[in-house]
A and B are shown apart, each in its own frame.
Chain A
Amino acid sequence: MKKLFQSIDAVSQALKQQNYICDRKLATVIYLALQMEKPLLLEGEAGVGKTELAKVLSKALDRRLIRLQCYEGLDANTAVYEWNYTKQILRIKLAEAHQQDLDNLKNIFDEEYLIHRPLLEAIRSEAHGRHVSLLIDELDRADEEFEAFLLEVLSDYQITVPEIGTLKARTKPLVVITSNRTRELHDAIKRRCLYHWIHYPSLEKEYEIVTTKVPQIEKELAFKICSLMQQVRQMDFYKRPGVAETLDWVSALLLLNRDHLDAETLEETMGCLFKYQEDVERVENENLASSWAEALRS
């Protein structure tokens, strides 16, 4: 029996058990996606937990996660299916050697000669009674043409192989698509999905995330870190740090045994928060570390 959440509260609780803190809005959208059997399209800045959500969801639902990482030049042969050419050639040679007549020769364009790539795998696993969820990660990195291959999967949960026909999923897999928005996805994709933009977390939510994920951290320090992060995200950096960066930073501080945030500590660990030379330079030039430390003390 396929596991499903009974209510929106059940979604939040199940995710919380997996150490993923989500607000009611997101929980509602997840619940709707599962109930309405629609793909979920998550957008948001880098490091707000889009990919993490897909992983956690499939754990909570006890499903196998099939992941398709998108990149420029990704094509149907890598993402959907490929013919097993070696097997096909061997089959022909074998038939030749045994001098089989035509009636006995099996069609070499048959499903047993197909190599399942992630999309087909997701559709076919379901047909074999194993429930899966499919993560299509960073779709904005793939070329626009690639989106066209997804349309059939997303709306009808089926894939058409010209030589065979249409392969359909018996039960629909949960599909999660993430995008960092380096470019706009096609409307046709968006139309088929439920959309959710994941914001940077509020102070309260980030505090909850930090103390859940890194329970060893001192409460007061965690609170200071989170309020500083709120302030940093207000500023105009080239790449603003996400929750992932906060968690890295917290772990770094623990490793270094720092229990308070002075200017020196901030300077030493800025590498956890800023990944671009321009941003690091700005922190140095404007002497932000000491002014932040000053602000935290008061």
Chain B
Amino acid sequence: MTIGATPPAAQDRSGDFVRNSLLFARKLKEKGLPVTMGRTLDALRGLGLIQIENKEEAYSLFSTHYVSRPEELAVFDAVFEDFWCFKNRREASDENRLVQHECPPFLTLPGEMEPSADHTGNQRQKISYSSRDIMCKKDFAAMIEGESQDIAQLIMALAQDLGMRLGRRWRAAGKGKQVDLRGSIRASLRHGGDLLALRKKRRQPKKTRFVVLCDVSGSMDSYSRFLLQFMYGFQRHIPRVETFVFSTRLTRITPLLRMRRIDAAYALIAESVSHWSGGTRIGSSLSEYNRRYGRRYSGPDTVFILLSDGWDQGEIALLEREMKELKRRVKRLMWLNPLLGMPDYQPIDRGMRAALPYVEDFLDCHNLDQLEAFGRELERTCSP
């Protein structure tokens, strides 16, 4: 859609402002905000209702349409200040005046006519079957630059598939305890309104929640990039997932992974996780989880997934105590260890040995095939 088709409400306003608004929307989209054509049209519709020269009113109009989660507010604020240049305006005397931009004569509305991009923001390419097979078996640690793009796509596809299968499995039907009056009446009409048999229904079983804790210490460096990709996909396609990363400390990244584009999520994570590639203290990280988040996220319906190589530099007694506490609180405790892919690996280092008695599933995650196997195991765990 070109500028010619301006919505009626905005027509009496300066055309420049509409153009600027579109340009602004496009800038926001570039930064990963969920800008769609519908929202842009709505925002333009609202232009007629506010004083566009008033900074706060303009801010509200745009933010209410383009922001839908608090993590996006910081991104929005930065683009807003930068684009409408409130700080270093040159000519206008009024503090709150918006600055007009030069912009190209023909603009497309954001969200329209743009080539579809995948979650990493890159153009999608087809991966051939043979190379896919090889890729699935290849150790994440041995990936080279070009391959990691392909693997990112495959990981996202895997997470999406897993999300769909888990979703299907949960719907249970059958005889229940509660009387389904609506169904019973309907059925009774067949016999002239006599209630011959009561229909029953039952509530859906309580749904499984997931907590993922991923080790991002130095020893996991060659894996954490891919595992982060997996966590992004996992959280995106599966409901009720909480995600944390830890090395010497613990950080909850659930809200950061909710960004629509993965590079926006990465940028936020890089900004807020200062202990990336640090040492490893699994015990104290678990202790922090149990203390701060356990009450809210652990429960008899929680599957807890720990991703770590088990190299612990902390106190072993603490690790053991916290594993025990964790085990007591959750439905199932799974540990994914990329080192299991090594032919001669034995879980004999102190940390791993202390933790293993509390782990119900000890699985490998060093390549795609193994992640897929983990998905199948998860599906078994979650089926009623």
Contact = CB atoms under 8 A, between A and B. Distances in A.
Interface of A: 8, 23-26, 28-29, 31-32, 35-36, 38, 41, 43, 73, 77, 82-83, 85, 88-89, 92-93, 96, 143-144, 181-184, 187, 190-191, 194-197, 238, 278
Contact of A89 (B45, B193, B258): B193
B65 interface: yes
B225 interface: no
Contact of B57 (A8, A77, A184, A238): A8
Interface of B: 34, 36, 38-39, 42, 45-46, 49-50, 54, 56-57, 59-61, 63-65, 67-70, 73, 181-182, 185, 192-193, 195, 203, 207, 239-240, 258, 291-292, 296
B67 A195 contact: yes
Contacts of A196: 60, 63-64
B60 A197 contact: no
A25 B240 contact: no
B168 to A, nearest CB: 14
Contacts of B65: 194-195
Majority SS at the chain B contact face: helix
Contacts of A83: 181-182, 185
B64 A194 contact: yes
Contacts of A88: 185
A191 B60 contact: no
A25 B59 contact: yes
B64 A238 contact: no
A88 B291 CA distance: 54
A194 B46 CA distance: 11
Contacts of B240: 183
Contacts of A32: 46, 49-50, 60-61, 64
Nearest to A45: B70
B193 A197 contact: no
A24 B57 CA distance: 7
Contacts of A238: 292
Given A28-B57, A96-B193, A36 B185 contact: no
B193 A92 contact: yes
Contacts of A77: 182
Given A26-B60, A144-B239, 12 more contacts: A8-B50, A28-B57, A28-B60, A32-B46, A32-B49, A32-B64, A38-B42, A43-B69, A93-B193, A182-B296, A191-B38, A191-B39
Contacts, number: 85
26 contacts: A24-B54, A24-B57, A26-B60, A28-B50, A28-B56, A28-B57, A31-B50, A32-B49, A32-B60, A32-B64, A35-B49, A36-B45, A41-B68, A73-B203, A82-B182, A85-B185, A92-B193, A184-B69, A187-B34, A190-B68, A194-B64, A194-B65, A195-B63, A196-B60, A197-B70, A238-B292
Scoring A23, A26, A43, A195 by chain B CB atoms within 10 A of each residue's CB, the highest score goes to A195
Contact of B64 (A143, A181, A182, A195): A195
Contacts of B291: 278
B46 A85 contact: no
A24 B59 CA distance: 10
B107 to A, nearest CB: 23
B357 to A, nearest CB: 28
Given A35-B49, A93-B193, A29 B64 contact: yes
Nearest to A185: B68
A197 B73 contact: yes
Contacts of B49: 31-32, 35-36
B151 to A, nearest CB: 27
B60 A29 contact: yes
Given A92-B193, A187-B34, A278-B291, A36 B239 contact: no
Nearest to B70: A197
Nearest to A85: B181
Contacts of A85: 181-182, 185
* A-B residue pairs, 4 tightest by C-beta: A92-B193, A28-B60, A190-B68, A24-B56
B103 to A, nearest CB: 25
Nearest to A194: B64
A80 B240 CA distance: 25
Contacts of B69: 43, 184
A93 to B, nearest CB: 7
A32 B52 CA distance: 13
A93 B182 CA distance: 17
A225 B185 CA distance: 60
Contact of B46 (A36, A93, A182, A197): A36
Contacts of B73: 197
A26 to B, nearest CB: 8
A8 B50 CA distance: 8
Nearest to B209: A183
A238 to B, nearest CB: 6
A31 B203 CA distance: 41
Contact of A184 (B39, B181, B192, B258): B258
A77 B64 CA distance: 32
Contacts of A82: 182
Nearest to B239: A144
Nearest to B242: A183
Contacts of B292: 238, 278
A28 B67 contact: no
